[in-house]
Amino acid sequence: MLEKFYPQEYLDSTYAIDFDRMYAEGYRGVIFDIDNTLVPHGAPADERAEKLFSHLKELGFGCMLLSNNKEPRVKMFNDAVQVSYIYKAGKPSVKNYIRAMELLGTNRENTLFVGDQIFTDIYGANRAGIRTILVKPIHPKEEIQIVLKRYLEKIVLFFYHHKQKELEGVKK
């Protein structure tokens, strides 16, 4: 039942993802959440984010920001990284994940989604059929509605980790 919320990968940080390997595996588009995925909530793009997007573009990735925030917030971040974006995305609705792939010229098989929230980011991308990477939030300071969801996410992650250990046992 909870599997629909499970990411394909769970990593400490967006900046720990081996995008070179992902490109070699055939991925061509990356859709990112912004807040607490790339920078702390509400922060502008920092040097680390700018370097990441520069590297992704050099590799040949198409990049898209997909945020539930209003346009001024998304545009402020995007001014530094210069990629496409969709604001007020309505995640976990599938509609704008599909629109993002259309704009990138990618499809479900060659697109990645990176985000920090299970019930919006990962659930929506899973429903859209995109490979999902959940990352740990960058900063603990979050809006109250997100803080409350984090408690529920801990339950999902408990079962996710249990399932991962089972799968590792089967491989051995």
* 64-83 pLDDT tens trace: 999 999 999 999 999 999 99
Q: How far apart are CA 160 and CA 34, in angstroms?
A: 24
pLDDT score recorded for residue 171: 66
HSE of 55, CA atoms in CB hemisphere, 13 A: 14
Q: In what order do the strands lie in the sheet with 62-66?
A: 9-11, 131-135, 111-115, 29-32, 62-66, 84-86
User: What six digits make up the tokens of 159?
Assistant: 């079962």
Task: Tally helices (H) and strands (E) across the chain.
Answer: 6, 6
Does residue 96 have a pLDDT over 80?
yes
Strand duo 84-86 + 111-115: pairing = unpaired
Counting residues of the chain whose pLDDT is more than 70, the rounded percentage is 95
Q: Has residue 133 got a pLDDT over 90?
A: yes
pLDDT at 146 over 90: no
The per-residue pLDDT for 142 is 64
In tens, the pLDDT along 7-63 reads 999 999 999 999 999 999 999 999 999 999 999 989 999 999 999 999 999 999 999
85 DSSP β-pair partners = 65
Question: DSSP code of 91?
Answer: T
- Residue 15: both structure tokens together: 């900046």
- The pLDDT value recorded for residue 82 is 97
